[in-house]
Structure formats: structure tokens, C-alpha cells
Amino acid sequence: MHTLGGRIIYIWIRSERRQSRSVFGSLEKMEATVETATSEVNSPNREYTLERTRNIGIAAHIDAGKTTTTERILFYTGLCHKIGEVHDGNTVTDWMEQERERGITITSAATTCFWKQAEDGTTKLWPEVPHRVNIIDTPGHVDFTAEVERSMRVLDGAVAVFCGVAGVQPQSETVWRQATKYNVPRIAFVNKMDRTGADFKNVVAEMRERLGAPAFPVGIPIGAEEDLRGVIDVVNQKALIYDASDDFGSKILIEEIPQDLKAEAEAALAELVEAVGDRDDHVMTLLLDEKPVDEVTLKQAIRRLTIAGEFVPVLGGSAFKNKGVQPLVDAVVDYLPSPLDVNVQTGASPDGEGEETEFPADDNGNFCSLAFKLWTDPFAGKLVFFRVYSGQISKGEMIYNPRTRKKERVNRIMMIQADKQENVETVYAGDIAALVGIRNITTGDTLCTPDIDVCLEPPTFPEPVISMAIEPNTKADQEKMSAGLQALAEEDPTFNCYTDQETGQTLIAGMGELHLEIIRDRLFREFKVEAESGAPQIAYRETITKSSEGRGLFKKQSGGRGQYGDATIKIEPNERGGGIEIENKIVGGVIPREYIPAVEKGIRETIQGGVLAGYELIDIKVQIVDGSYHEVDSSEIAFKMSGILAMKEAVNKAKAVLLEPVMKVEATTPGEYQGDIIGDMNRRRGVVEGIDSKNSGTVITAQIPLATMFGYATDIRSLSSGRASYSMEPDSFEQVPQSIADEILDKDSK
């Protein structure tokens, strides 16, 4: 690679590109082509064009520094003029009282900032061109994983933040999988490089090993711990040194790389070029022809690969120490996609018929958007957060919900800045905004023009794993509690509330103890409800261990027209996590086609209610194989009952067993407490899977049943004199030991 310093690089690149053509042609021609193409999709009324827009999320394991990183981004982009701190409870995106009290992010917060890459002598793709960056700061705690899930569904790119000491942690893997699920391109920021034990190279290696990520450094920290003073720009081969006299990290000196770091920087560049060349045809051609790969060409290739999900640029720094954040924002603009760069959204008819409809990012197209979050604001009322994929919508216009098949008028549109709102007249393709006053809507609904009847793919959410009873302290609180719980259930797809038919108790179900604790706290603060809760209950499941057959004959005659339904089914275990599969194997019309859905309905009703103790059945294959009908007496209700009877008989023959949720637990502890913590895990029926040594101490990975994990936060602190920490996430459902299952079943039968 040929490299020249400072401004000369940039001038040389532009001159070179006037005479030689890459896959894009000359830089000027490429820019002209882009502007011509995008002018056709951009409304003349929008301030920032689609190609100058970035919709990104900040995601990571809890306590990796997401909110601190977001806060610095907002400061350096000029959105706020004072740096907020999590420990001071004054950050922009952690605006809920519960967030500021606990120092954690609970709900995803949206905000917008604006960035202009500085013309500082290093090569950038859009120097001095203003960009609009919409940011969603997501929670890191496993109990609030739904917030990450729905955010990833509507984002174009993401910044994954990793702790420089702890590296890749369990929730890091979870958010990475969520981003992969929705094909979200990402860059990585290795944070906390000022901490004792921070190791940038180790985190990059863990990303490759544990996440399978094609991660390659583009910004290497200079120094570590107390000696952290800057970042090596690998592409430009420059040192970005932070002025020691500037506590806010705003003054950056562009210097030649120090001699003692030059070999490392050149090796990183060689590795970067080789990695890009292996994946990008244009760069590979240049390398084979022994032609120089200039900085712009390399950056464009990295951008293409990142957008395609084949490359993850990695930068390092310390958000808390105000180092490395500006290069991170430059990387967001350079490498993460605009709405024009991502896959075109497609929608299908609600009834599943007809061809899919495409909705490209185009202000002039048909309006189509996805409602990804509901929130009750104490002043504005119900807010519906939505991402516009195509078209534009203005105040006073009609929108249509294909799920409910109802139209509503848009009375108010707001842009959200965390806990602040700004009324706007119109929103365009690529925008993330909120509607006020829309009724009959749930998370995942499509909102579009009235002449379109299609639904976009909604986000999916995990089922609740823990429940508890909740009772109001007074009769006056009863009505307020019901309204509050309903509102919270609308907001949070992983929170359910229902009434136990046998006991009459109100039960709430969620993703963990903290999740339900926050629900109770919100009931008190936002809805003024005084309530007491019972002990947490586990959301067990049921399944079968062998194949069987069952017949359901429902025959009733009481004068006049009778009821007759007869169905025979075969069931067998499905692979763990395979879900429920129901297949119609009826031949010869022994059960008329119009009655098959009724049989399936009966089967699914039995699945929901279980057989052993009323818990939902999972991972079963069902085949409807035989039956009979009566020309006069057969009906849908009769065949539904036959499906129920057949399913119950088959499950009882198939040795049904009880399953319990098992958590993947990762505990980090000083070595001297390792034995005590492992012993405690064994007492909790845990299975230790790995013990690794890191700079932060010993990391113990184990599979532990959720039923034994209540109160673990207190116990692990006691065992380690407050020095150990842990995290956990749902992993699987496993069979409950028979002795414990008998206790559970005996308890549930009383």
C-alpha cells in the first residue's frame, strides 16, 4: 500500500481516481451518480437525505458502557453541552427514575444527533458533509432483552460495545445473535481500555472465537489503563493523540505513529488489507495486479463488506475517559449503512395470500412503517414508536392497520429525544418517530396507506420464564392495578398478566426477578397502585418422551340432532426447541376437509393447557391419521372435542414429563472464591461447563435451573465478600428430576 501523509494523501487520491477507474469509476463520477440516484428518492422538503442518514443502535452486555458511550456521542455531536454520567444519574438516554437509581438501562431510548466528519488531514469518505444519526440506546440486562429485540428489527446498523477487561460476555453473545437474526451490520467498540487488565487484542480474539465474527481492528488504542492516550488510525496510518490538558477529549492531535508502535500499526494494516482482499473482488484484483490500495478504496471496500455482514471493523478507547469516541462516530458514518444500503423491506397479505410487496426506501413511494414499541407518557399519553420504511406521512392524513383492518387519522407526530419530544408535521422514509393517540395497536403492527393491505414481518419475543401473584392493598387499588397492568402489558411483549381460574389470583409473568420488580415499581410510581407480591413461580413446560397414538370419539345424543366427531392422532417427540408441528395425514376423506381445522384447534387447546399440571406442552410432532364422521350429527365443535380427547389420550400414553427453564450463568470471581462459588452452583443443581482465567479473575460458566437462582445476587456477594459478579440468560428447557417433579405436581394438585 502507498501511503502519504496528511492532506497530500487526499489530494493524491482524487488525482489518481480521475485517471483510473475502480468498480465505481472516478470519485467525482461516483458522487455524481449517487446524488442523481438519490435525488429521485428524496423529498425536496427533507433536511437530511436518505444517504446521509444513519439509524443505529448501541448494544452490549450490562455494564459494558453503552450509555456512557452514547452520552459522549451526544456531547461531541453537540446535542448536549454537558457530559452526563451514569453514576450521577444525569444521562440523556437513561431518563426513567428506575434507570437513574439503579445505574442500568431498562427501556430503549431514541435520540437524534448530527455529525460532520472533520477535514483533519486523514482520509474520510464524507469529510465536512453533515449526517443525521438516529441512535437507540438499548438495555444490557437479560430481563429486558425484548427492548434489544424490537430495536434490532428496525435498525440499519449497530455499534456493539465490549468491555476491554471482561471481553465477550453472555449478553454480548445474545445481542450479537439478535443482530444476526435481523441481518444488522455492525461495528465494534472495545470500551474501558483505561481499566486495569484491559486487553484489546484479547477482546478481538474472543470476538472471532466466541461470536464467529470477522473482526479486524481499524482503530487500535495507544496505551492502556492509566497510559491510554490515543488511537492508531490503521487505514490512514496516523496517531490520534488526545491533548492531556483537555479533560473533555475535544482536542485531538494528528501525528505520525510513534516509532515503538510503527511495526504494530503496519502489521495491523497488512492484516486489514489481506482480510478485505480475501472478501472483496475489487481489492483482490488490485492486489493481484500489484497496484496500490489507497485509503478511499480500502474504506469503500470495508463499507461494502460491513453492510453485507462479512466484516466487522473494531475500534478501541474509553468512553468514560473521553478517548476514542470521535473516531467511533466517524466509523458509524463511513461503514454503517444508510436506509438505501440495506435490504428492501417486504410485506405479505395478512391472510397469507398473494405475492410479497416490496417497500424500498423512497420518500415518493407508498407509505409503509412498522410499530416497534409502545410507551405510555404521563403527559402525552400513549406513544407509538414507528420506523418509516417507505413514503412519508403528515399530520392530518389517514393510516391503515392491516391487522385490525381499521383506519385512523394522524393527529400528532413527534420526534423523540429520550424524554423530550418535538412536534413535527411530516416524517419521511428512514425516520424513527412516534405517533400520539393511535388506538387498537400492538407491538409489531404495520402502519401504511389505506390502499395497501400488507403486513411487514414483526419482531419475535421470548416467552416469560417467571411469574408471581400480585394483590392490591385496598379495593380502591384494584381498578387502578388492572388498568396499570393492561397498559404495561401493551408496552412490553415479554410481560403477561392473567387471572388464575382456580385461585382467582392475579398473576404477572416476565423474564426475571428484576423485570417483575421494575413492573411493581412502575405500578406504584406511574399508576399510584399499592400492591404486594407473592413468591416467584417458575413457568414450567411439559413434553413427551416416546411415540403414541390416541383416539378421540365424541358422541352425544340427547334427542334431536346429536354431536359426532371421531379423530385418531399419532404423536412423537420433536427435537428440543423444534416446537409444535401438526400435520394432516387424512386420506380418502374419512374426516371432511372442513373439519380438520377444528381437530387442530382442539389439539392446540390441549397443548396450551398441558396434561400433567396445566403447563404448556412443547416440542411435539402430531399427525392426524384417521377418523370418521356422521353426515348429520358431525360439527366443528364435535371435532374440536375429538381433537382434545385424542390429544389427552396420546399424551398420557407417551410418558409426559415436566421441563424447567435452565439458565446459562457466567460468574466472574477472584480466584480465592472459586471453590465456594462452584460448590454453591453444585448445590443449585448446576452443571459447571467451563473455568477460564482472565485478567478480571476466574470466569465460571454453568447451566443452572432457574428455580434455584432466586436470591443468587445476594448469595454470590456473600460468598465473595462483594467481589464476584454474575450474569445469566435463558438457555434451554430440561427435564426436572423425578423427585422434584413429584413435589411440583403434588403442590399443583392441592
pLDDT digits (tens, 9 = 90+) for 691-718: 988 766 788 999 999 889 887 877 887 8
Rounded distance, CA 417 to CA 70, Å? 13
Buried b (16+ CB within 10 A) or exposed e, 333-348: bbbbbbbbbbeebebb
747 burial via Cβ count (<10 Å: 0-12, 13-18, 19+) = exposed
Nearest 5 degrees, angle CA 311-CA 312-CA 318? 165
Residue 318 DSSP class = B
Which helix (H) or strand (E) is 662 found in, with range?
Answer: strand 656-669
**361-399: per-residue pLDDT in tens?**
999 999 999 998 887 776 777 788 899 999 999 999 999
Greatest CA separation for the chain: 100
Per the CB < 8 A criterion, the answer to whether 131 and 145 are in contact is no
Rounded distance, CA 264 to CA 287, Å? 21
Pairing of strands 230-233, 420-424: unpaired
CA-to-CA separations, 247 to 71, 225, 227, in angstroms, rounded? 15, 16, 15
Q: Which residues of the chain have pLDDT under 70?
A: 1-39, 80-109, 140-143, 352, 354, 378, 417-419, 500-504, 535-536, 558-560, 695-696, 748-750
Per the CB < 8 A criterion, the answer to whether 519 and 488 are in contact is yes
Per the CB < 8 A criterion, the answer to whether 677 and 636 are in contact is no
User: What nine digits make up the cell of 487?
Assistant: 397498559
Q: What stretches of 138-229 adopt beta strand conformation (E)?
A: 157-163, 186-191, 215-222
What pLDDT, on a 0 to 100 scale, did the predictor assign at position 7? 28
CA-to-CA separations, 613 to 257, 543, 572, 608, 658, in angstroms, rounded? 68, 12, 20, 11, 9
Rounded distance, CA 565 to CA 582, Å? 19
The predicted model scores a pTM of 0.71
What pLDDT, on a 0 to 100 scale, did the predictor assign at position 12? 30
Amino acid of residue 487: A
What pLDDT, on a 0 to 100 scale, did the predictor assign at position 110? 77
Residues in Cβ contact with 206 at an 8 Å cutoff, skipping those fewer than 6 apart: 167, 168
User: What nine digits make up the cell of 690?
Assistant: 467451563
Residue 336 DSSP class = S
Per the CB < 8 A criterion, the answer to whether 494 and 122 are in contact is no
CA-to-CA separations, 546 to 574, 614, 620, in angstroms, rounded? 10, 20, 10
What pLDDT, on a 0 to 100 scale, did the predictor assign at position 67? 82
Rounded distance, CA 530 to CA 370, Å? 35
Per the CB < 8 A criterion, the answer to whether 714 and 722 are in contact is no
Per the CB < 8 A criterion, the answer to whether 472 and 527 are in contact is no
CA 77 to chain centre: 25
What pLDDT, on a 0 to 100 scale, did the predictor assign at position 109? 67
User: What nine digits make up the cell of 704?
Assistant: 443452572
What pLDDT, on a 0 to 100 scale, did the predictor assign at position 171? 77
Nearest 5 degrees, angle CA 714-CA 719-CA 723? 85
Q: Could you give the 3-state DSSP secondary structure of residue 467?
A: strand
Pairing of strands 157-163, 186-191: parallel
Per the CB < 8 A criterion, the answer to whether 110 and 134 are in contact is yes
Strand partners, 187: 159
Rounded distance, CA 280 to CA 293, Å? 12
Query: Sign of torsion, CA 273 176 576 659?
Result: positive
Pairing of strands 312-316, 186-191: parallel
